[in-house]
């Protein structure tokens, strides 16, 4: 790990000198030669402005719930018209009636790499066995794991299975990935609904009942909301906790409502079993979840995000762990974006609005780290050549910069309103103050991921999992 970390630092230095230092010198030379650089400045600032506007729109939209509920009857046409307008805006949610049929047989598919997750897997299985509502059709729990060596924990797992008929322990020989483990579990799963879980996830007791509300209405995948269980561990985990409230409470929820589509986030996703058995997971992808999401949508199936289906997970507690986890995410997202973007535009299952929004999601969000970085060389160039900034450009910079700052704070405030639990006020204050550094850190990770992709490097560093102190985690549904 030390060698890998040293290599990452070298990549950061190289990429940032290449993307900041050299352009700054070039822009400075152009300014000295009489060029105004209006185009590059306006382009970068406009993209910042666009990003800020999208954050504000998503945050405002996500203030309202989207949930499956009884459909109300309206006596007057004006009431029905008002309800249609409110539904279009997201006020009160896009309401669907409760399903008439009881929840069918359901399957938990839990993937684990035991040398890494042996300290937490028993706790997760006990949570599933003791805290989850039993569907009317029955419940099965399949632990699909791989390990290079025999481990003492395996005997404990089989002993647990002897006491719980619904638990199946499946060692996947030859497996080297989560994708292969889940694919093996699919071969023996018998439920009509499958929930894919990582080894550290503890879903809410009513998860299948809430997911069934949507699947019974014709959706094929329902992605729930992931929150951080070990948020009090240190400063990093506190920031990740607030970030996840923004990601799963704001961004995913808003995108789902605005486009009537979403992504499967890797865990706490509830699939129609027949669809999952058709799609399966590709072991060659760094982010098999995003790859499966795009293939699902491109096959005409529907994915929805419901933030009332809550699971808690463990966040990285060290910078190294955080770095390699997020680099894999960024690398995998880029890989999938380049692979499926053209197919998305040709797909008959996406309307024009969905194609536009998914292009923004796949390309623009992925490339924003590179785009935003170009603001620095432009600013450095003007520091090298004072007096080269026009008054109009100065005003535009203040507007774009001010709105970008406001959008970040506004999203945090919106996340606080709809958060899964009441966090200490200090968490939000720290996150606001640390936000510029945190965003810069994530952008640096994304740039290194792009560098690795261009160099054909796709090493997967496993995220370490350690047992955490037992804490009661109270969630609110919303």
| Per-residue tens of pLDDT for the chain, all 478 residues | 555 778 888 898 888 888 887 777 777 777 667 676 667 777 778 888 888 999 999 999 887 765 545 555 656 777 667 666 655 554 444 455 567 689 999 999 999 999 899 999 999 999 999 999 999 999 999 999 999 999 999 999 999 999 999 999 999 999 999 999 999 999 999 999 999 999 999 999 999 999 998 999 899 999 999 999 999 999 999 999 999 999 999 999 999 988 889 999 999 999 999 999 999 999 999 899 999 999 999 999 999 999 999 999 999 999 999 999 999 999 999 999 999 999 999 999 999 999 999 988 887 777 778 877 777 777 776 666 666 667 777 788 888 889 999 999 999 999 999 898 999 999 999 999 999 899 889 989 999 999 998 888 876 666 766 655 444 444 444 4
Phi, psi of 472 (to 5 degrees): -75, 125
- In whole angstroms, give the CA distance from residue 84 to residue 376: 46
Rounded alpha-carbon distances, angstroms, from residue 199 to 113, 207, 312 = 8, 17, 11
Contact (Cβ atoms closer than 8 angstroms) between residue 171 and residue 165: no
Q: Which run of H or E residues covers position 113?
A: strand 106-113
Task: Report the pLDDT value the prediction gives residue 68, as an integer from 0 to 100.
Answer: 47
Rg of the chain over CA atoms, in angstroms? Answer: 24
Phi, psi of 68 (to 5 degrees): -90, 120
300: its two tokens: 């005409």
pTM reported for the whole predicted model: 0.88
102: its two tokens: 């009881």
Place of tokens 């105004």: 36
Task: Report the pLDDT value the prediction gives residue 477, as an integer from 0 to 100.
Answer: 43
Q: What is the largest CA-CA distance in the chain?
A: 80
Rounded alpha-carbon distances, angstroms, from residue 202 to 127, 268, 281, 418 = 7, 9, 22, 20
pLDDT tens-digit readout, 2-30: 557 788 888 988 888 888 877 777 777 77
Q: In what order do the strands lie in the sheet with 193-198?
A: 167-171, 139-146, 106-113, 193-198, 269-272, 221-228, 303-313, 202-203
- In whole angstroms, give the CA distance from residue 387 to residue 67: 55
Contact (Cβ atoms closer than 8 angstroms) between residue 426 and residue 69: no
- In whole angstroms, give the CA distance from residue 209 to residue 133: 8
Cβ neighbour number for residue 422 with a 10 Å cutoff: 9
Cβ neighbour number for residue 43 with a 10 Å cutoff: 13
Task: Report the pLDDT value the prediction gives residue 45, as an integer from 0 to 100.
Answer: 82
Q: How far is CA 50 from the centre of its chain?
A: 21
Phi, psi of 196 (to 5 degrees): -90, 130
- In whole angstroms, give the CA distance from residue 113 to residue 180: 11
For residue 175, the SS3 value is coil
- The sign one gets for the Cα dihedral 203, 209, 211, 212 is positive
Contact (Cβ atoms closer than 8 angstroms) between residue 203 and residue 229: no
- Residue 182's nearest CA partner among 297, 296, 248, 271 is 271
Q: Give the bridge partners for 306, in sequence order.
A: none
């Amino acid at each position: 790990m030390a060698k890998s970390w040293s290599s990452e630092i070298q990549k950061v230095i190289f990429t940032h000198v290449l993307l900041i230092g050299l352009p700054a010198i070039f822009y400075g030379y152009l300014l000295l030669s009489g060029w105004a650089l209006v185009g590059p400045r306006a382009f970068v600032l406009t993209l910042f402005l666009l990003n800020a506007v999208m954050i504000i729109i998503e945050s405002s939209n996500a203030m309202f719930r989207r949930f499956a509920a009884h459909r109300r009857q309206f006596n007057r046409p004006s009431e029905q018209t008002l309800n249609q307008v409110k539904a279009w805006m997201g006020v009160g949610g896009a309401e669907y009636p409760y399903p008439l049929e009881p929840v069918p047989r359901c399957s938990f598919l839990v993937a684990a790499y035991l040398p890494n997750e042996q300290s937490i897997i028993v706790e997760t299985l006990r949570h599933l066995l003791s805290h989850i509502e039993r569907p009317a059709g029955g419940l099965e729990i399949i632990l699909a794991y791989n390990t290079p060596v025999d481990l003492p924990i395996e005997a404990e797992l089989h002993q647990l299975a002897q006491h719980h008929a619904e638990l199946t322990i499946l060692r996947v020989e030859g497996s080297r990935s989560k994708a292969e483990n889940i694919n093996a579990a699919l071969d023996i799963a018998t439920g009509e609904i499958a929930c894919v879980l990582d080894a550290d996830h503890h879903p809410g007791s009513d998860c299948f009942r809430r997911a069934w509300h949507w699947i019974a209405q014709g959706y094929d995948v329902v992605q729930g909301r992931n929150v951080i269980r070990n948020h009090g561990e240190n400063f990093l985990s506190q920031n990740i906790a607030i970030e996840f409230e923004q990601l799963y409470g704001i961004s995913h929820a808003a995108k789902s409502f605005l486009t009537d589509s979403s992504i499967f986030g890797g865990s706490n996703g509830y699939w129609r079993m027949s669809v999952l058995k058709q799609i399966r997971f590709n072991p060659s992808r760094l982010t098999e979840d995003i790859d499966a999401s795009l293939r699902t949508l491109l096959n005409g199936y529907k994915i929805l995000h419901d933030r009332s289906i809550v699971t808690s997970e463990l966040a990285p507690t060290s910078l190294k762990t955080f770095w390699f986890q997020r680099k894999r995410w960024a690398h995998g997202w880029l890989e999938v974006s380049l692979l499926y973007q053209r197919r998305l535009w040709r797909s008959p299952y996406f309307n024009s609005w969905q194609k536009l929004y998914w292009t923004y999601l796949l390309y623009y969000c992925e490339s924003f780290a590179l785009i935003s970085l170009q603001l620095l060389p432009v600013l450095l160039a003007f520091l090298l050549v004072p007096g080269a900034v026009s008054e109009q450009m100065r005003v535009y910079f203040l507007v774009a910069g001010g709105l970008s700052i406001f959008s970040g704070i506004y999203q945090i405030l919106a996340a606080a309103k709809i958060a899964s639990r009441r966090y200490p006020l200090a968490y939000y204050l720290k996150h606001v103050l640390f936000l510029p550094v945190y965003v810069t850190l994530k952008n640096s990770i994304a740039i290194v991921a792009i560098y690795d992709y261009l160099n054909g490097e796709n090493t997967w560093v496993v995220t370490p999992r350690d047992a955490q102190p037992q804490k009661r985690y109270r969630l609110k549904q919303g």
